[in-house]
Structure 1
Amino acid sequence: MIVRNESCGAEQMPMSYLTCLLYILEGWTGVEHLDEYLSYLAYLTWLFAPLLVAFLLPAIILILVYVSIFILHIYKLRTHLKEVYANDFWDGARLTVTTMWYVHARIWNGYELHGLEKIPDGPALFVFYHGATPLDFFYFVSAVLAKKKKFIHVVADHFVFSLPGFKILVDVFSALPGSQEECTKALKNGRTLAISPGGVREALFSNECYTMLWGNRKGFAQVAIDAKVPIIPFFTQNIRESVRTLGGLKPLRWVYENTRLPLVPLYGNFPVKLRTYVGDPIPYDPNVTAAELAEKAKNAVQCLIDKHQKIPGNVFRALMERFETHRKED
């Protein structure tokens, strides 16, 4: 039984609405000092709210992906638009989706693309360092399409093709599952491809030191040799500060290595400054082996990291770069 000298009655000592409400709740629940418990709860909320938001923000990227899928479905229903695009029915849909991503890139991350002149008109194979998400690749493809009218196809991990609702997305943007035969054929047919040799492992388990996890992969180099196309490296500054992972936890690494399931929590999607730098093309050379070419490509990406990324990466510094008045020289 709670005993108080004051009450909420009109004849008694006046009380604030909140105090009165607490008094009623205490009487109803039988819990004394409820205000102290609520104060502690408010403190915990204030303490952990930023952490909760940090883990929820990466969902924005997934939401935008599904918005893209929704746009493609709507476009598919409007079949009468087919006559507008003589070359490809999906040209307008790709342009709509990539424009959305490019606008988001400019607003959210102040995105910049440097080295556009190094991108050839003909087929080529792009290689890049994989951030925690492929956000910078979305930005890169959108910027190249907007500025150069050139579309770049991606070589995606197998699990992407089994994600709910992704079929129309991978079909319209002609994502490839990554077999050497398919990639070589696409390049010989004049397409331009992009692949991250580090793949999901690099995405989840690299860190703010931008460690490249390419292993001994050289299949991409053999593809470039067989198709007789140049390899072009690119790297996005601060991509690890945009979204980070908890890949440093050993149990999560064990789960991935034994199941190949990318069950590693992401956090961030911070509005840091992102700049993509395109490196010098590595021309086709029939006298270079796949192992040698793969090493050249890896060194080229590493050089871009060394030149344009401060190690270790820092989220606050990357945020402050949004307010720089003069960009560093390339």
Structure 2
Amino acid sequence: MSLSEDQEMIDRNESCTAGQMPMSYFTCLAYILKEWTGVEHIEDYLSYAVYLLWVFFPLIIVFLLPGVILLFIYISIIFVHIYKRKNELKEAYSNDFWDGAKQMLATLWDGHARIWHGYELHGIENIPEGPGLIVFYHGATPVDYIYFMAKLLILQKRTCHVVADHFVFKLPGFKLLLDVLGVMHGPKEECVNTLKKGQLLAISPGGVREALFSDETYVIMWGNRKGFAQVAIDAKVPVIPMFTQNVREGIRTLGGIKIFRSLYEHLRLPVVPMYGGFPVKLRTFIGEPIPYEPNVTAEELTAKLKRLPTLERRDARLLHKTLKRILYYSEKIIKVNNKNFKKVKR
């Protein structure tokens, strides 16, 4: 290409971007790319790319929205590090060093809960003033527990400790936040000691497996787990059932695909993709506590919990049907548009 041709192309591009030619931005972009690449009918390829982006944009958003929860968690981590750095001199003279940080984090998460999910907490009066073991269903993420913890801190100025899977403690940057919020991995002796100190402790018997592979039927994956019941018996505390309505509809997983189940069983890491982040209504219900009985066994206590009635999930079923309809009609539209595109291409 000669110098005069280069100058002519630059002049055309400058006139296009300067608005001297009556072109839309899309037409201008197509014109510039055509000059640079020499590809004929490049505007058709761009049109199809824009069309694909428009079609798959909802799907992309659905897989990106769960990242908002992770973003909020890292905002919390950054905050506690700043808080610690700013208040280091007060630490040696204060027994409630982290109280201010906890209140700020509770306000942050409670705001997200109310705005995005219209979060409600029912049955908080069922939580005893003393120690107690809260047993809850584990959604795809523990976001409902975070909301509960925030609401409990705001309303009753109490912290509820919780048992988490070992992989959580290996996540970069999480250690300080987990310490501040009273998250522990166990073992059983530490759980019992926490309860004997008069604290609340929360455990999800299904754990990560339930989070990844449960579905809209909300089946609790009890397995042969009885350790949580033994903790309550050894600490001589009541067991308090807790369930959040629609938690499985807010964020869901692709746990039904066998390869992800095999990967989890092999790696013991949450490698299952998540999608959703839908602004569904979340209601956490706290049931009446099952009081401590000296002669009850761990098996009997577990059986009592299994017999508790399932909470109504009408809203969840309605959303599930709505999403099915949306996916059905989206597939129909994509098929029709693909046929039309093939005709145009011919």
- Fold equivalence (TM over 0.5): yes
| Map of 2:23 onto structure 1 | 16
How many Å apart are 1:140 and its aligned residue? 0.3
How many Å apart are 1:201 and its aligned residue? 0.2
**Aligned 8 A contact 1:85 1:91 in 2:** no
Normalised by the length of structure 2, the TM-score is: 0.82
**Aligned 8 A contact 2:246 2:313 in 1:** no
| Structure 2 counterpart of 1:264, one-letter code | V
| Structure 1 counterpart of 2:201, one-letter code | L
Structure 1 CA distance, aligned partners of 2:73 and 2:140?
16
Structure 1 CA distance, aligned partners of 2:322 and 2:235?
42
1:55 to 1:19, Cα distance in 2 relative to 1, 3 A: closer
| Structure 1 counterpart of 2:115, one-letter code | I
| Map of 1:64 onto structure 2 | 72
| Map of 1:326 onto structure 2 | none
| Map of 1:114 onto structure 2 | 122
Corresponding pairs, count: 305
RMSD: 2.3
Within the candidate set 31, 43, 54, 2:62 is matched to 54
1:33 correspondence with 2:41: yes
| Map of 1:306 onto structure 2 | 311
How many Å apart are 1:79 and its aligned residue? 2.4
| Map of 2:240 onto structure 1 | 232
Q: Deviations over 1:41-83 (max 9, x none)?
A: 1110001111111111111101111111111111111226738
Structure 2 CA distance, aligned partners of 1:230 and 1:153?
15
1:287 to 1:42, Cα distance in 2 relative to 1, 3 A: same
Greater mean alpha carbon deviation, residues 133-142 or residues 184-193: 184-193
| Map of 1:214 onto structure 2 | 222
Quote the sequence identity (%): 59
**Aligned 8 A contact 1:209 1:311 in 2:** no
Structure 2 CA distance, aligned partners of 1:317 and 1:93?
40
**Aligned 8 A contact 1:237 1:309 in 2:** no
Greater mean alpha carbon deviation, residues 208-217 or residues 124-133: 208-217
Please give the secondary structure, in 2, of the residue aligned with 1:132: coil
The aligned runs of 1:99-178 (5 Å cut-off) are 99-178=107-186
1:246 correspondence with 2:254: yes
| Map of 2:287 onto structure 1 | 279
Judging by fraction of residues, say which structure has more helix. Answer: 2
How many Å apart are 1:280 and its aligned residue? 0.9
Unaligned runs of 5+ in 2: 1-11, 16-20, 324-346
Structure 1 CA distance, aligned partners of 2:41 and 2:50?
15
Please give the secondary structure, in 1, of the residue aligned with 2:302: helix
1:140 to 1:19, Cα distance in 2 relative to 1, 3 A: closer
| Map of 1:44 onto structure 2 | 52
**Aligned 8 A contact 1:208 1:240 in 2:** yes
Please give the secondary structure, in 1, of the residue aligned with 2:307: helix
| Map of 1:205 onto structure 2 | 213
1:56 to 1:21, Cα distance in 2 relative to 1, 3 A: closer
